[in-house]
C-alpha cells in the first residue's frame, strides 16, 4: 500500500480492517479482535414538577424509591438523578395533609374563599440525595446529550421520567415533559438528544406522565414518520396514551394510596411492594429467574388497579402497522397468544367470562353501567358546585360588609385584620346556618370526586381487557401478513423491551 495514500483514505481502510477483524472473530475465525471495553448500564432518573405546587410529595417518593431499586437490583449501574430545582434555597416539594376543620388553621375562611384543600399544603426542600442538577430544560438537555453520547456501542441505557406532561392537540410529537421553572421538552427535542447514543446501544424509556403515549414516537425518525423505525435501538413504555390523563400525582405521602404506573412497574423489578412486603404474584412470567422490562410492564397492566391504560413501543408498532383492509375483516377472533392469554387472565380476575361472546356481552353491560354511574356523579357534582358557589357568595358578602379588609389578601390591611379581627370574623362565619350547609356540600363534593376516581379505575380495567383482546388479534394478523422488513423491525423492539434493568 502506497505511503502517499491520503490520511482520510488510510482512516477508511483502518475502519474497514477493524470491521473485518471483528467479523472474523464473531465467525470463529483464527484472527482475534482487539478486546473491547466492558458493556455498562446507565439509568437517568428525571423527576419533579414545573414549580413547587406541581412538585408533589408522591413524585419525590417515587424518585427516591426508583433510585433505591436501581441501586439494589443493579448496583453496578451508573445512576444519574435530576430533580426539580436542586438548589438548597428553594422549597421545591409540596406535601399535603388533610386540614383540621378548626378556626386555629383558618379553615372557615378557607372554605368561604374556596381554598379548603390548599389549606393542607406545606412546602419543603427536597430530600433527594446526589442530584446532578435540576430539571430546567436549558440544564437538562445538554447534560442528557453528553450522557447519551458517552455510551458505548454495547452499553444499555434507561431513561425514567416521573413528573407531568402536556398534550399538543395539533401534533402528538409535540407532547412535552413539563420541567422546572415551567420549561419544557417535546418528543422531537428528546428524540434529537437521543441521537447522540450509539445506534446499537439499547436505549429504553419509561414515561409515567399524562399524555405519555406521545413519547412512543421516539422509535421513529424525527418522531414524525409512522411507517418505519429510526436506525436506533430504542424502545419504551408509557403509562397512558398520547391523549389521556394518567393516574394523578398526589401531594400526600401515604404510599399505600399510590396506584400509579411507577408503583407497579418498579415493584415488579424489585419483587416487593412499596411497603417492603413481597408481591403476591411473581412478575417473572417465563420463570427464568430474571424480570425484564417487558415483564414489569405486563405486571403493571395486570396488577395495576388504577386509571392508567399503559402501552409499549411494540404494541404501538402493531397498532400503526395494521393495514386498513384488516381493521374490519377480523374483529371477533380470540387468538391464543400472549395478549389473548393476558386478556383471559384479567377477565377472570374481574369475575367476567373468560372468552367469547359471553365476555364481550359482559364487558359491554358493565361498561354501560359504570358509564351511567359516571354521568350521575358528574351531574351531582355540577349541582353541588352551583350550590357551593351560591353559599360562598352569601357568606363572603356578609363577611366583607363587617370586615372589608378580608376582601383584600396580600395587603397591610389584611395583615391587621388577621392580627385583630380574625377571631370575631370566624366566630361570625361559623355561627351562620349557611356555613354548616357549605361544609356539608363541600365535603359531599370531595366524596364524589373520590367515588369518580374509583369508577374511572373500574372502567379502565374493562378497557384493559378490550385493548388486550385487540392486541391479540393484531399480533395474529401481523404473524400472518407482515412483510419480512416489518417482522425484523418488530423483533428489534421485542428484543429491546425484553432486556433486564
User: What stretches of 279-392 adopt beta strand conformation (E)?
Assistant: 311-312
Residue-level pLDDT at 494: 97
Single pTM value for the model: 0.89
Taking 60 as the threshold, does the pLDDT of residue 33 lie above it? Answer: no
Summarize pLDDT for 349-373 with one digit per residue, the tens.
999 999 999 999 999 999 999 999 9
Q: How confident is the model at residue 409 (pLDDT cuts 50, 70, 90)?
A: very high
Residue-level pLDDT at 254: 60
Summarize pLDDT for 158-195 with one digit per residue, the tens.
999 999 999 999 888 899 999 999 999 999 999 999 99
Summarize pLDDT for 102-153 with one digit per residue, the tens.
999 999 999 999 999 999 999 999 999 999 999 999 999 999 999 999 999 9
Residue-level pLDDT at 251: 62
Rounded to an integer, the average pLDDT of 385-395 is 98
Residue-level pLDDT at 35: 47
Residue-level pLDDT at 345: 97
Rounded to an integer, the average pLDDT of 279-302 is 96
For residues 165 and 176, the answer to whether their CB atoms sit within 8 Å is: yes
Specify whether the backbone of 500 is left (phi greater than 0), alpha (psi in -120 to 50) or beta. beta
Which residues pair with residue 178 across a beta bridge?
164, 184
Q: Which of 38-42, 155-159, 266-270 has the lowest mean pLDDT?
A: 38-42
Residue-level pLDDT at 224: 63
Residue-level pLDDT at 223: 62
By C-alpha distance, which of 267, 262, 269 is closest to 240?
A: 262
Summarize pLDDT for 369-381 with one digit per residue, the tens.
999 999 999 999 9
Rounded to an integer, the average pLDDT of 202-214 is 97
* DSSP string for residues in 220-282: SGGGT-SSS--SS-EEEEESS-TTSPPSPP-S---GGG--SHHHHHHHHHHTB-TTSPBPSS-
DSSP secondary-structure letter at 50? S
Mean pLDDT over each residue of the chain, to the nearest integer: 90
Q: How far apart are CA 353 and CA 462, in angstroms?
A: 12
Amino acid at each position: 500500500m502506497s505511503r502517499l495514500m491520503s490520511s482520510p483514505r488510510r482512516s477508511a481502510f483502518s475502519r474497514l480492517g477493524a470491521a473485518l477483524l471483528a467479523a472474523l472473530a464473531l465467525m470463529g475465525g483464527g484472527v482475534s479482535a482487539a478486546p473491547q471495553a466492558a458493556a455498562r448500564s446507565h439509568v437517568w432518573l428525571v423527576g419533579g414538577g414545573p414549580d413547587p405546587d406541581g412538585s408533589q410529595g408522591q413524585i419525590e417518593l417515587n424518585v427516591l424509591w426508583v433510585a433505591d431499586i436501581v441501586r439494589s437490583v443493579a448496583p453496578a449501574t451508573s445512576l444519574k438523578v435530576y430533580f426539580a430545582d436542586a438548589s438548597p434555597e428553594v422549597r421545591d416539594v409540596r406535601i399535603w395533609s388533610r386540614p383540621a376543620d378548626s378556626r386555629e388553621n383558618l379553615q372557615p375562611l378557607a372554605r368561604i374563599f374556596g381554598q379548603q384543600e390548599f389549606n393542607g399544603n406545606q412546602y419543603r426542600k427536597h430530600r433527594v440525595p446526589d442530584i446532578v442538577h435540576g430539571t430546567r430544560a436549558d440544564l437538562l438537555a445538554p447534560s442528557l446529550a453528553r450522557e447519551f453520547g458517552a455510551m458505548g456501542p454495547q452499553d444499555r441505557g434507561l431513561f425514567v421520567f416521573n413528573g407531568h406532561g402536556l398534550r399538543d392537540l395539533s401534533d402528538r410529537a409535540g407532547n412535552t415533559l413539563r420541567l422546572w421553572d415551567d420549561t419544557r421538552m417535546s418528543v422531537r427535542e428528546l428524540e434529537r438528544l437521543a441521537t447522540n447514543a450509539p445506534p446499537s446501544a439499547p436505549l429504553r424509556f419509561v414515561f409515567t406522565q399524562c399524555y405519555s403515549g406521545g413519547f412512543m414516537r421516539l422509535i421513529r425518525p424525527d418522531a414524525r414518520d409512522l411507517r418505519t423505525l429510526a436506525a436506533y435501538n430504542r424502545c419504551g413504555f408509557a403509562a397512558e396514551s398520547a391523549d389521556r390523563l394518567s393516574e394523578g400525582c398526589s401531594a400526600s405521602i401515604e404510599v399505600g394510596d399510590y396506584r400509579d404506573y411507577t408503583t407497579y412497574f418498579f415493584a415488579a423489578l424489585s419483587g416487593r411492594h412499596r411497603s417492603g412486603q413481597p408481591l403476591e404474584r411473581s412478575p417473572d412470567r417465563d420463570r427464568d429467574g430474571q424480570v425484564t422490562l417487558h415483564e414489569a410492564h405486563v405486571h403493571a397492566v395486570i396488577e395495576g388497579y388504577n386509571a392508567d391504560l399503559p402501552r409499549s413501543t411494540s404494541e404501538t408498532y402493531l397498532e400503526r402497522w395494521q393495514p386498513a383492509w384488516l381493521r374490519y375483516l377480523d374483529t371477533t377472533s380470540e387468538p391464543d397468544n400472549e395478549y389473548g392469554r393476558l386478556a383471559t387472565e384479567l377477565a377472570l380476575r374481574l369475575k367476567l367470562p373468560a372468552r367469547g361472546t359471553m365476555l364481550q356481552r359482559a364487558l359491554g353491560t358493565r361498561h354501560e353501567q359504570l358509564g351511567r354511574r359516571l354521568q350521575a356523579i358528574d351531574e351531582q357534582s355540577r349541582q353541588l358546585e352551583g350550590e357551593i358557589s351560591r353559599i360562598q357568595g352569601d357568606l363572603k358578602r356578609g363577611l366583607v360588609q363587617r370586615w372589608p379588609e378580608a376582601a383584600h389578601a396580600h395587603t397591610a390591611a389584611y395583615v391587621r385584620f388577621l392580627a385583630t379581627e380574625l377571631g370575631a370574623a370566624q366566630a361570625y362565619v361559623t355561627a351562620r346556618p349557611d356555613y354548616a350547609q357549605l361544609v356539608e356540600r363541600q365535603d359531599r363534593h370531595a366524596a364524589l370526586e373520590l367515588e369518580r376516581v374509583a369508577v374511572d379505575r373500574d372502567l379502565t380495567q374493562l378497557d384493559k381487557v378490550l385493548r388486550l383482546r385487540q392486541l391479540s388479534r393484531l399480533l395474529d394478523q401481523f404473524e400472518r401478513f407482515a412483510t419480512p422488513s416489518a417482522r425484523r423491525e418488530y423483533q428489534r423492539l421485542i428484543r429491546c423491551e425484553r432486556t433486564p434493568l
